[in-house]
Structure 1
Amino acid sequence: MRTFFTFALLALLPLGLLRAEESEFPEPTNRGDASRMGKDIQRTMTLLATSTPEQKNTVTILLYGQSITAGKWGIYLEEHLRETYPDANLIYVRKPLSGFASHLLSKTSEFDMYPVYPDLVIFHDLGNDKDYETMIRNLRERTTAEVIIQADHLRRNQKVIDESDPAKVKDRSQQISAFRNYRFLPEVARKYGCAFDARRDLWKDYLREHNLEPGVMVADHVHPNEHGTYLMTELIKAYLVKREDVKIDPMNCGYVTTIPVTEDMRTDDGALQYQFDGNRIDVIFSKDATQACAAQIDGAQPLDIPAMRYHGRNRVKWRGTPIPPGPWPAVLKVGFEQPLIDESWTLTATQDQADPKLYLFEVRGSKTGADGSGRTDQRFVSNSGRVVIEPDDWEIKFAITDLRRLKELPSEFELNWTVMKQATNDVTPPKAKKGVERAVTVAQLLTDEKHTLILTGGIEGVRALRIYSPSKFPCPANGN
């Protein structure tokens, strides 16, 4: 048992400073089937494990989901990865939205998840199956990310003996948790070539081994306490391993391909031209490159392709009613009908006195200027066509009032967001860092098909091109 001093120390330490490895909780004996550890995430693990001081592989890992993903296990995991693979250039991104079940997260993922274009996504979300599968399918269709689908741990009122035989789990309405964890999630993982973190069974084994009730591991009904957080951390750490029986070249594995620059790519007018098949292309500069290149894709500057800009996550700002801070957007998704420009946007909303559930609002772009007004119960297209909001994409009561524990709807509020870019016209060599590859993404989330890249200017410093093609990712849904 933990001592009073340990609890006092825990209260005083900054979040995440107390390492999971220093816990006094008993270690789990069963950390998973060794034959499946690391399965389907070996590109990411190879990038981590083969990093050296001279070659610091860049690895982007995204944690996405709701309150379970927001737990401290994600902080402990980052500490573990940085200590275990100190030579990797690790980009670790956490974007959880507590309370956002799959019908909400499937919309926010448009600006939160796919544009990150990570090497690995660790994903957990509750909610309806259709929207959940949509997010996994979109990850597979739009990115080359490896994905870990996480099963659910046991809640306070759930039994250690719930049915685990998939053949016996047939009725979702009567066996919700069993159906989800032993039928739906494993089937989605197989269909889309994802790893499956089957922690529910491991959680049960731990409870049985130490004669514990499920409630001992949670702080409320569902959220892990320190004991549950320790176990959750240990189980995901055990899955993130490099397998010696799997050999993969992470830079040339079919769906990611690195093409060295050759003389036959050079045109008579001094440009570098290459036809690629994929939806993302990076330029790899040599160590001593200093000159930038100008890029074209299919005859246009990359940023002239409408999909290369998008509206980022909106933030709620206090106006009339004091609103506690939080990450939850009041508009789940902002679209556009006309190409975006680099600017920030402000939406000012005022409660409709005739119907307090509705709001009247105005939008203004930092460059576009005043751009029209609308109502939350009607489709809105701004005067410029650069802002489109569907009535079903508003989430004011839940995102502003309920999740922030306000007693009533605010009389007015403001939303702020920025137009984000996922392409560049001017490909400039990044600042040199010892051992880190000098890579620049020219464009991503293009259509996954053949495109032509033309670089002019400082092409002498271009060493290679790297192509990413989601359709070539090995999974049944892709037919390979």
Structure 2
Amino acid sequence: MRCQLLLVALSVVTMQTLANAQQVTYPPPSQRGDPATVGRGIQRTMTLLATSTPERRNTVHILLYGQSITAGQWGVRLEEHLRSTYPHANLIYQRKPLSGFSTERLVKTAQADLYPTYADLVIFHDYGNNEDYETMIRKLREQTTSEILIQADHFRRSEQLLDESQPSEIEERRQRWAAERNTTFLPGLARQYGCGFDGRRELWKAYLQEHSLAPGDLVKDDVHPNEHGTYLMTELIKAYLVPRSDTRLDPMNCEYVSTYDIDDIPGVTDDKLVFSFHGNRIDVVFRDDATGSCDVLIDGEKPLQNPTMFYHGRNRVKWRDTPIPPGPWPPVLKMTSIEPIVEETWTLRAEQDSKKPDTYEFELVGSVTGSDGSGRTDKRFVSNSGRVVIAPEDWDVQFSIVALRRLEELPMQFQLDWTVETQARNIVTPPEHEPGIERTITAVQRISDGDHTIELTGSVRGIKALRVYSPKKFPR
């Protein structure tokens, strides 16, 4: 009986503690960004959100990409905020963080994770070298019409609240680098590529000074935000994601996105449509009552005959029934090919070399290709079919399997699985949809950004419009 009473008492104390934790409130930031600049570079996305109604539920695709800061709870809370603030938007919200992956790694995984997503908005943060950082922003701008919000760095525990307007005058090397990055490199990159820049670092510093806090008061180690820091990070990103009253644009017809009503396209018949366009992506918008499909040709060929329409997706370590903990980190940072690849799943089984423990021998099998050769992690591998190529410098077993999963030693064996993804369709079919959501499907994306012709045959009268995207036309 006494034990039961003790358990009840402990339960009450625990519940009270949790309740108190949930009731903690923090002072809101009084500085939320310069009204002249907040929202810059992301107004197509914000217009799509803000103009959504029950009758017209705009589809809005947002991707968060980066490392451990991107993996923080602020991303979850931002999603909750957007869904509650814009309840009628058809929000597709993705987070693809790879904790620990600074720019020299992320620039490789971006080939599978970032560019093919072709989101309306990419919210990006990463630490690392400037060259690889710029490469990611440049390729994202060259290959997609995604709006990009570059996030500044917050203050680490180990940094001081200095005047960073003159980075060269800061003695401590790491803070000098951080100051240069946040006052010159990142805002300069945003201007160069037409991105938004949230200026979070100065706002973070102002908050600390206003409330007599030290940088360490908002982080739980040196860099990762604690609950108070997560609150502030969420509030500052919310403050940037706002529609601007001085910006008026039609998100379906702006400089880099154009929509063409089928009734305005000459020569359309009940079963055939031929349309010339300039861009690297074209979507088919179906009528609400459409039921039939259409065959697709781009420049006279089926889109999936173009080998660039396939790519190797992110590889993952098999962890079930193994001593390897789960996690998102790919041990192969990047894969390429020298021959056209096809839709299939791949499995790579690796065994540790007993004479050279940091090296693995492996065999590769594709669900369509079949057995496709064997190789070693310390040598360039080209599969028998030419559909899988792995350079030795793109293996990352020690970091992705051991260090990040906190294993004490290299595993004796492991298995990787991945899928070949596509960026086009040979047949477009009206997608299922809820009331108010436009029935849109991408026919092809990330082809060369130039002049092309699409030919649709079949149930053409079920088509309402065509929508074209051209990264070259994105304002900078």
What residue in structure 1 maps to residue 104 of structure 2? 103
Give the 3 Å change call, closer, same or farther, for CA 292–131 of structure 1 in structure 2: same
- Report the secondary structure of 1:358's partner residue: strand
Which residue is equivalent to 2:7? none
Contact 1:102–1:132 (Cα < 8 Å) also in 2: yes
| Pairs within 5 Å for 1:202-217 | 202-217=203-218
Hey, what does 2:367 align to over in structure 1? 366
What residue in structure 1 maps to residue 410 of structure 2?
409
SS at match of 1:357: strand
Q: Secondary structure at the match of 2:136?
A: helix
The answer to whether residue 428 in structure 2 is matched with residue 455 in structure 1 is no
Q: Structure 1 residues 156, 288: CA separation in 2 closer, same or farther (over 3 Å shift)?
A: same
Amino acid across the alignment from 2:71: A
Alignment partner, residue 50 of structure 1: 51
Runs of 5+ in structure 1 lacking a partner? Answer: 12-17, 476-480
CA shift, 1:168, in A, is 6.2
- Which digits, 9 at most, give the CA deviation of each residue in 1:372-425, with x for residues without a partner? 001111111111111111111110000000000000111110000011111111
- Name the counterpart of 1:433: 434
**Distance in 1 between the 2:228 and 2:174 partners?**
31
Residue 8 of structure 1, aligned match among 13, 18, 38:
18
Identity of aligned residues (%): 60
The 2-side partners of 1:6 and 1:159 are apart by 37
In the other structure, the counterpart of 1:218 is: 219
Q: Please give the per-residue CA displacement for 1:416-454, whole angstroms capped at 9, x wherever unaligned.
A: 001111111110001131000000100101111111100
Question: In the TM superposition, what is the alpha-carbon distance from 1:262 to its structure 2 partner?
Answer: 3.2
Amino acid at match of 1:409: L
Letter in 2 for 1:139: L
Shift of 1:99: 0.1
Query: Match of 2:393, SS?
Result: helix
Match of 1:34 in 2: 35
- Judge conservation of contact 1:363–1:373 (CA < 8 Å) in 2: yes
Partner of 2:73: 72
Tell whether the 8 Å contact from 1:66 to 1:101 is kept in structure 2 after alignment: yes
For 1:304, the aligned partner's letter is Q
Q: Output the CA distance in 1 between the equivalents of 2:25 and 2:269.
A: 69
- SS at the partner of 2:357? coil
Structure 1 residues 132-211: aligned runs within 5 Å: 132-165=133-166, 175-211=176-212
Q: Aligned runs of 1:41-440 on 2, under 5 Å?
A: 41-165=42-166, 175-262=176-263, 264-266=265-267, 270-318=271-319, 322-440=323-441
Residue 234 and residue 7 in structure 1: after superposition, are their counterparts in 2 closer, same or farther (change >3 A)? Answer: farther
* Distance change >3 Å, CA 7–CA 186, structure 1 → 2: farther
Deviations 1:455-477 (A, max 9, x none): 000101111100000000001xx
- In structure 2, what is the equivalent of residue 470 of structure 1? 471
> Is the contact made by 2:278 and 2:470 (CA closer than 8 Å) also made in structure 1?
yes
- Give distance in 2, aligned partners of 1:243 and 1:7: 42
Report the Cα offset of residue 163 of structure 1: 1.5
Encode CA deviations 1:276-314: one digit per residue, 9 max, x unaligned.
111000000011111000000011111111111111000
- Rounded to whole Å, the distance in 1 between the matches of 2:144 and 2:430 is 24
> Whole-Å Cα distance in 1 between the matches of residues 289 and 440 of structure 2?
13
Give distance in 2, aligned partners of 1:30 and 1:190. 22
C-alpha deviation, 1:264, in angstroms: 4.9
1:202-239 residue CA offsets vs partner (Å, 9 max, x unmatched):
00010001100110100111100000000000000000
Instruction: Indicate how the Cα distance of structure 1 residues 250 and 6 shifts in structure 2: closer, same or farther if over 3 A, else same.
Output: farther
Whether contact under 8 Å (1:166, 1:183) holds in the other structure is no
Kindly indicate whether the alpha-carbon contact (under 8 Å) linking 2:265 and 2:275 is maintained by their aligned counterparts in 1: no
Residues in 1 aligned to 2:413 and 2:163: alpha-carbon distance in whole angstroms: 47
Change (3 A) 1:430 1:244: same
Label 1:268 to 1:83 Cα distance change in 2 as closer, same or farther (>3 A). closer
Partner residue, 2:447: 446
Is the deviation greater in 261-270 or in 362-371? 261-270
Contact 2:315 2:417 survives alignment (8 Å): yes
2:9 corresponds to which residue?
Answer: none
User: Matches of 1:297 and 1:88 in 2, distance apart?
Assistant: 31
Deviates more, 1:438-447 or 1:313-322: 313-322
Q: In the superposition, relative to structure 1, how do residues 87 and 23 fare at CA in structure 2: closer, same or farther (>3 Å)?
A: farther
What amino acid is the match of 2:82? L
Separation in 2, partners of 1:174, 1:47: 39
SS across alignment from 1:35: coil
Q: Residues of 2 paired with 1:236 and 1:268: CA distance?
A: 48
Note the C-alpha offset of 1:165. Answer: 4.1
Contact preservation (8 Å) 2:374, 2:383: yes
TM-score (norm 1): 0.93
Give 1:8 deviation, angstroms: 2.3
SS at match of 1:262: helix
Deviations 1:164-207 (A, max 9, x none): 34786899877111111111111111111100011100000100
Q: Distance in 2 between matches of 1:7 and 1:63?
A: 33
State the one-letter code of the partner of 2:295.
A
* 8 Å Cα contact 1:361-1:374 kept in structure 2: yes
| Secondary structure of residue in 1 paired with 2:109 | helix
Contact 2:159 2:175 in 1 (8 A): no
Which range is displaced more, 320-329 or 410-419? 320-329
The one-letter code of the counterpart of 1:192 is: Y
Q: Is the 8 A contact 1:345 1:418 kept in 2?
A: yes
Q: Is residue 32–residue 202 contact of structure 1 (8 Å, CA) maintained in 2?
A: yes
Write the distance in 2 (CA, Å) between the matches of 1:264 and 1:257. Answer: 13
Deviation at 1:5, TM superposition (A): 6.3
- Deviation string for 1:337-379 (max 9, x for gaps)? 1111111000001111111111101100011110000111111
Q: Distance in 1 between matches of 2:62 and 2:373?
A: 39
What CA distance in whole angstroms lies between the structure 2 residues aligned with 1:77 and 1:326? 23
Q: Pick closer, same or farther for the CA change 1:46–1:264 going to 2, 3 Å.
A: closer
Cα distance, 1:100–1:265 mapped onto 2, change above 3 Å:
same
In the aligned structure 1, how far is the partner of 2:249 from the partner of 2:264?
A: 28
Question: How far apart are the structure 1 equivalents of 2:160 and 2:173?
Answer: 17
SS in 2 for 1:82: helix
- TM-score relative to the length of structure 2: 0.94
Return 258-267 or 156-165, whichever deviates more: 258-267
- Output the CA distance in 1 between the equivalents of 2:167 and 2:49: 34
Unaligned runs of 5+ in 2: 1-12
- The answer on whether the counterparts of 1:273 and 1:455 sit within 8 Å (CA) in structure 2 is yes
1:266 positional shift: 2.9
